[in-house]
């Protein structure tokens, strides 16, 4: 675990050690509250019965909102990974390195100090159960970013909701059951263990539902469908129904163990809804910078400490870390360059010092997109930039954002626009995905995934991903040109000898294809002498059009040999030297295993 970045990390570490030695033992439950942070995936503002949804029933989520703080204007990023980056760091996602959702654009720089690391350095045990989506190679993983315990998956999506293969502290293992219930059960067992051991805990449960693919038992989705709800909505509502029941189990555990009043429970979602459906009148959906894409439910419950209250000031994901730091009395935040602000004073009815601040919501993707699409919130106002054109809305009076007031209040728009431009100028350059780290202590295996490869200049012309977006789980496909090649950018931290395996598929008609893997001037020949071309594994998808997007299949493993690598930046490539047929070779990944 890295130390917090301060003027002198050694002096700071010594100071913290002295303070902790002089303070009462932090292991006792009475010293600091536990934290249970629940995040759902692609659940919109309108996906709650308490927000007026006419069909969906979410009694547990509703009860959380009715028994604590309701953050009425709570903003996140327009898509998943950037929201998670800001939530874990208290900083705008552009500062962390995460500016997209795939092909290494989702990675948080391991030098960032996460909420888990901050908790851990203050005596908490830390656990993460679910979808990470901020880096798939150690030390970008949860275990490298401050979590003692991790069960889940590292990318943006999994194709397996039933009997999934999940990573447990770096080791993949198949689990029986439905993924939402598996993750909840693991979180319950872990929290129970910490309570029994009298240890304060931070439990982060980022469920991957109701993100597609649509997979849930019929008993959950069919009741909605029978009420004339469309198939898409029925399946999504069924997935949310399962989450609601699992949250109820978590709250019941806290009650049973006498920890309800000693546990801060936060429920929130990561962006707007992933389909056009009821969204409480908000304009837009996932990926939009209008309210419907970035305004989400957020409830905070801490019985006996927080009043039942609705907070209407604009707040955001970056505010969660500093607020928890204040409530949990965490040392170390004073040295962090946070973009968020603690809203504890708002919760305590002491809002006299709350600033009329301007709060930016940045877009994702290319540097041009980030420059020309964005939102600024201040008070009742929200200014929205769409491809360089600015609009202005009073989102309290006009929640649907129908009435553009830019011409009526030019001075208000000018101030918000200036704040956006000034804040954007502080952000680092965007457009270079993070290099893949290799050779860190604590991890002997590095996987170069097909979807993380760059396909220089020839994407779609002799090489492509099996699904053109190249999302998590996709692979290199339609590779029929010797001029085309995949390339992985690497950051080798330590010298070492590595064994290299290739996972491939190739039809009988292309048997005899030859290639080589090259890294640091060393070449390992690839001679395909065994055809392997299975059909995609069948999936019980419930939503139309998902087969191509969420395909998966089995792969043939081919040992290539060993490489003696030196520390430094390097590019790894595979080059075809012989093509035998028209279908082409497919590559899932390369596995590098340190052997010395």
Fold entry, domain 436-541+550-594:
Jelly Rolls (2.60.120)
Q: What is the mean pLDDT of the chain?
A: 92
Find out whether 293 and 285 touch, Cβ atoms under 8 Å: yes
Q: Give pLDDT, residue 460.
A: 64
Structure tokens at 145: 């970013």
Segment among 28-42, 416-430, 483-497 with least mean pLDDT: 28-42
- Does residue 48 sit in helix, strand or coil? coil
Reported confidence tier of residue 21, pLDDT bands at 50, 70, 90: very low
User: Nearest 5°: phi and psi at 12?
Assistant: -60, -45
As a whole number of angstroms, the distance between CA 561 and CA 540 comes to 38
Which alpha helices (H) appear in 442-501, and where do they start and end?
none
Find out whether 88 and 145 touch, Cβ atoms under 8 Å: yes
Mean pLDDT of the region 30-54: 95
Mean pLDDT of the region 462-478: 92
Q: Give pLDDT, residue 576.
A: 94
> Taking 60 as the threshold, does the pLDDT of residue 20 lie above it?
no
Structure tokens at 532: 């392997």
Mean pLDDT of the region 187-192: 98
Q: If we measure between CA atoms, which residue out of 11, 43, 78, 45 comes closest to residue 288? A: 78
Reported confidence tier of residue 504, pLDDT bands at 50, 70, 90: very high
Find out whether 112 and 134 touch, Cβ atoms under 8 Å: no
As a whole number of angstroms, the distance between CA 154 and CA 142 comes to 8
Segment among 392-401, 440-449, 488-497 with least mean pLDDT: 440-449
Other Cβ atoms within 10 Å of 231 Cβ, number: 14
Q: In what order do the strands lie in the sheet with 381-386?
A: 359-362, 373-378, 381-386, 389-394
DSSP annotation of 508 reads: G
DSSP annotation of 90 reads: S
CA 327 to chain centre: 24
Per-residue pLDDT of 46-93, as tens digits, reads: 999 999 999 999 999 999 999 999 999 999 999 999 999 999 999 999
Q: Give pLDDT, residue 50.
A: 98
Q: If we measure between CA atoms, which residue out of 218, 146, 219, 217 comes closest to residue 180? A: 217
Mean pLDDT of the region 338-354: 87
Reported confidence tier of residue 539, pLDDT bands at 50, 70, 90: confident
> Taking 90 as the threshold, does the pLDDT of residue 24 lie above it?
no
First to last CA, the chain: 23
> Taking 50 as the threshold, does the pLDDT of residue 41 lie above it?
yes
Other Cβ atoms within 10 Å of 66 Cβ, number: 12
Q: Do domains 9-303 and 361-425 have the same CATH topology?
A: no
As a whole number of angstroms, the distance between CA 324 and CA 207 comes to 21
Q: Give pLDDT, residue 443.
A: 86
As a whole number of angstroms, the distance between CA 505 and CA 413 comes to 55
Q: Give pLDDT, residue 430.
A: 85
Tokens 């759902």: give the residue. Answer: 40
> 361-425 architecture in CATH?
2-Layer Sandwich (3.30)
Segment among 173-187, 315-329, 353-367 with least mean pLDDT: 353-367
Reported confidence tier of residue 431, pLDDT bands at 50, 70, 90: confident
Reported confidence tier of residue 12, pLDDT bands at 50, 70, 90: very low
Fold entry, domain 9-303:
Alkaline Phosphatase, subunit A (3.40.720)
Q: Give pLDDT, residue 81.
A: 98
As a whole number of angstroms, the distance between CA 4 and CA 332 comes to 7
> Taking 50 as the threshold, does the pLDDT of residue 249 lie above it?
yes
Tokens 């000031």: give the residue. Answer: 313
Residue 210 preceded by cis peptide, ω within 30: yes
Q: Give pLDDT, residue 131.
A: 98
Domain coordinates in residue numbering, the chain: 9-303, 361-425, 436-541+550-594
As a whole number of angstroms, the distance between CA 25 and CA 33 comes to 14
- Helix (H), strand (E) at residue 263: strand 263-269
> Taking 50 as the threshold, does the pLDDT of residue 13 lie above it?
no
Which alpha helices (H) appear in 409-451, and where do they start and end?
410-425
Reported confidence tier of residue 171, pLDDT bands at 50, 70, 90: very high
> Taking 80 as the threshold, does the pLDDT of residue 16 lie above it?
no
Cα dihedral sign for 110, 112, 117, 121? positive
Calculated CA dihedral for residues 193, 195, 201, 206, nearest 10 degrees? 60
Mean pLDDT of the region 30-43: 93
- Does residue 300 sit in helix, strand or coil? strand
DSSP annotation of 538 reads: P
DSSP secondary structure string for all residues of 553-596: ---EEEEEEEEEE-SEEEEEEEEEEE--SSS-EEEEEEEEEE--
């Amino acid at each position: 675990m890295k130390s917090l970045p301060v003027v002198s990390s050694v002096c700071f570490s010594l100071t913290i050690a002295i303070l902790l030695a002089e303070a009462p033992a932090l292991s006792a439950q009475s010293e600091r509250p536990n934290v249970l942070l629940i995040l759902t995936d692609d659940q919109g503002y309108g996906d709650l019965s308490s927000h007026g949804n006419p069909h969906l029933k979410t009694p547990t989520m509703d009860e959380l909102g009715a028994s604590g703080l309701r953050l009425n204007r709570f903003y996140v990023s327009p898509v998943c990974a950037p929201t998670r980056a800001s939530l874990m760091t208290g900083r705008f996602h552009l500062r962390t390195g995460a500016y997209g959702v795939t092909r290494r654009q989702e990675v948080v720089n391991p030098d960032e100090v996460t909420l888990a690391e901050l908790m851990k350095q203050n005596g908490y045990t830390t656990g993460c159960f679910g979808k990470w989506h901020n880096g798939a190679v150690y030390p970008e993983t949860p275990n490298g970013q401050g979590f003692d315990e991790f069960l889940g998956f590292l990318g943006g999506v999994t194709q397996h909701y039933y009997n999934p293969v999940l990573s447990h502290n770096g080791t993949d293992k198949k689990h029986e059951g439905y993924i939402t219930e598996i993750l909840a059960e693991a979180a319950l067992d872990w929290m129970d263990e910490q309570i029994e051991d009298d240890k304060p805990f931070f439990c982060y449960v980022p469920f991957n539902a109701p993100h597609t693919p649509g997979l849930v038992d019929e008993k959950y989705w069919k009741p909605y469908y029978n009420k004339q709800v469309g198939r898409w909505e029925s399946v999504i509502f069924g997935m949310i129904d399962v989450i609601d029941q699992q949250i109820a189990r978590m709250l019941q555990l806290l009650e049973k163990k006498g920890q309800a009043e000693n546990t801060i429970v936060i429920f929130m979602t990561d962006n707007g809804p992933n389909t056009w459906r009821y969204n409480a009148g908000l304009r837009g959906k996932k990926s939009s910078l209008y309210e419907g894409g970035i305004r989400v439910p957020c409830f905070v419950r801490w019985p006996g400490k927080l009043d039942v209250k609705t907070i209407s000031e604009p707040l955001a994901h970056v505010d969660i870390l500093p607020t928890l730091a204040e409530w949990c009395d965490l040392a170390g935040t004073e040295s962090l360059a946070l973009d968020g602000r603690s809203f504890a004073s708002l919760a305590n009815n002491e809002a006299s010092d709350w600033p009329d601040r301007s709060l930016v919501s940045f877009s994702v993707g290319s540097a041009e997109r980030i420059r020309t699409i964005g939102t600024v919130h201040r008070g009742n106002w929200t200014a929205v930039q769409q491809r360089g054109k600015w609009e202005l809305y009073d989102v309290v009076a006009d929640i649907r954002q129908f009435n553009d007031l830019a011409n009526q209040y030019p001075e208000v728009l000018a101030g918000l626009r200036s704040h956006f431009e000034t804040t954007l100028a502080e952000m680092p350059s965007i457009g270079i995905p993070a290099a893949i780290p290799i050779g860190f202590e604590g991890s002997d295996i590095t996987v170069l995934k097909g979807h993380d490869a760059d396909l220089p200049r020839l994407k779609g012309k002799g090489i492509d991903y099996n699904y053109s977006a190249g999302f998590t789980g996709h692979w290199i496909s339609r590779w029929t040109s010797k001029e085309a090649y995949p390339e992985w950018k690497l950051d080798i931290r330590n010298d070492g000898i590595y064994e290299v395996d290739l996972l491939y598929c190739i039809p009988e008609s292309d048997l005899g294809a030859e290639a080589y893997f090259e890294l640091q001037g060393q070449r390992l020949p690839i001679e395909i002498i065994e055809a392997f071309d299975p059909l995609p594994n069948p999936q019980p998808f419930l939503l139309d059009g998902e087969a191509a997007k969420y395909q998966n299949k089995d792969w043939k493993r081919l040992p290539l040999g060993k490489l003696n690598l030196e520390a430094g930046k390097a590019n790894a490539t595979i080059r075809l030297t012989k093509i035998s047929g028209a279908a082409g070779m497919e590559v899932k990944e390369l596995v590098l295993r340190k052997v010395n």
